[in-house]
């Protein structure tokens, strides 16, 4: 990702999320997604897919074609599947997503390591793919789960849940973590733990209220931007503007 970001001169990850479409409009949804990649690829370094497109377009149908489109434009692809099941199921899920062409996927540390995410990391390592861990989300209710105080499994001490997840990212050798840009204080705290060993991906820029400057100054390396681009009247112009602001701020951080 670092190499692609330098080559593209951008640290913007496009969240390719669209509102619900009726199933009979699947082809137009595909065309819309493909057109967006075509229009904004000069200003981003990667594309993040969610269930928004995977469910209606099909993993080995429309999604695989969109992955190829992104790769042809020199972009990396991330599947935001938030893997969160038992190990044997997680392993199969990961194998399918990687087989479709994804370069990395996002997983939820809640399930733990043994018979949890260990099989995912093994599959990723064997295929030279990435695993990004969800540490602190960007929505308003995140503190009810990721912000709760829990007992550290290793030390028995009371610790915020997201702090444990950040520690696991280091221990497990994750390729990145997700921390919402809407909570720059959490980005800063997690960065203080991870430093430059594990990069931070920050979603929530724009519509959710996350600010480019505060996220970057707090330690985010990549900014995940969705609706501020996907719902824009001029996506390419919006993507270029966001990229330029982030690039200028990154130089001053």
pLDDT score, position 250: 79
Architecture per CATH, 2-252:
Alpha-Beta Barrel (3.20)
Which pTM does this prediction carry? Answer: 0.95
CA-closest candidate to residue 78, choices 127, 16, 27, 128:
16
Q: What are the per-10-residue average pLDDT scores of the chain (253 residues)?
A: 93 94 92 97 98 96 98 98 97 98 97 96 98 95 91 88 96 97 96 95 89 95 95 95 92 69
- Residue 212 has which token pair? 């480019």
Structural domain spans, the chain: 2-252
CA 37 to chain CA centroid, nearest Å:
17
Q: How far apart are alpha carbons 195 and 219 in whole angstroms?
A: 8
DSSP three-state, residue 125: helix
Q: How far apart are alpha carbons 122 and 129 in whole angstroms?
A: 10
Active site residues: 82
Q: How far apart are alpha carbons 238 and 80 in whole angstroms?
A: 23
* Phi, psi at 157, each rounded to 5°: -90, 150
pLDDT score, position 203: 95
Instruction: Confirm if 202 and 220 have CB atoms less than 8 A apart.
Output: yes
Q: How far apart are alpha carbons 119 and 103 in whole angstroms?
A: 17
pLDDT score, position 208: 84
Longest dimension (CA), the chain: 54
The angle at the Cα of 213, spanning 206 to 175, to the nearest 5 degrees, equals 85
pLDDT score, position 154: 81
DSSP three-state, residue 155: coil
Instruction: Confirm if 183 and 142 have CB atoms less than 8 A apart.
Output: yes
Q: How far apart are alpha carbons 15 and 53 in whole angstroms?
A: 11
């Amino acid at each position: 990702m670092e190499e692609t970001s330098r080559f593209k001169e951008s640290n913007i990850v496009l969240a390719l999320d669209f509102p619900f479409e009726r199933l009979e409009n699947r082809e137009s949804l595909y065309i819309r997604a493909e057109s967006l990649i075509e229009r904004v690829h000069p200003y981003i370094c990667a594309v993040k897919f969610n269930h928004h497109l995977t469910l209606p377009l099909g993993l080995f149908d429309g999604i695989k074609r969109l992955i190829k489109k992104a790769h042809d434009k020199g972009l990396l692809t991330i599947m935001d599947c938030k893997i969160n099941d038992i190990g044997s199921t997680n392993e199969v899920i990961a194998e399918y997503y990687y087989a479709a062409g994804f370069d990395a996927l996002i997983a939820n540390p809640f399930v733990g390591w043994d018979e949890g995410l260990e099989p995912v990391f093994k599959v990723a390592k064997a295929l030279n793919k990435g695993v990004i861990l969800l540490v602190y989300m960007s929505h308003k209710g995140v503190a009810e789960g990721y912000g709760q105080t829990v007992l550290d499994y290793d030390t028995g001490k009371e610790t915020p849940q997201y702090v444990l997840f950040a520690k696991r990212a280091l221990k497990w050798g994750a390729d990145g973590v997700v921390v919402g840009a809407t909570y720059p204080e959490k980005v800063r705290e997690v960065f203080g733990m991870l430093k430059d060993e594990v990069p931070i991906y920050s979603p929530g820029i724009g519509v959710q209220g996350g600010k480019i400057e505060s996220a970057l100054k707090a330690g985010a390396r990549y900014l995940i931007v969705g609706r501020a681009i996907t719902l824009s009247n001029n996506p390419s112009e919006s993507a270029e503007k966001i990229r330029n602001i982030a690039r200028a701020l990154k130089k001053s951080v």
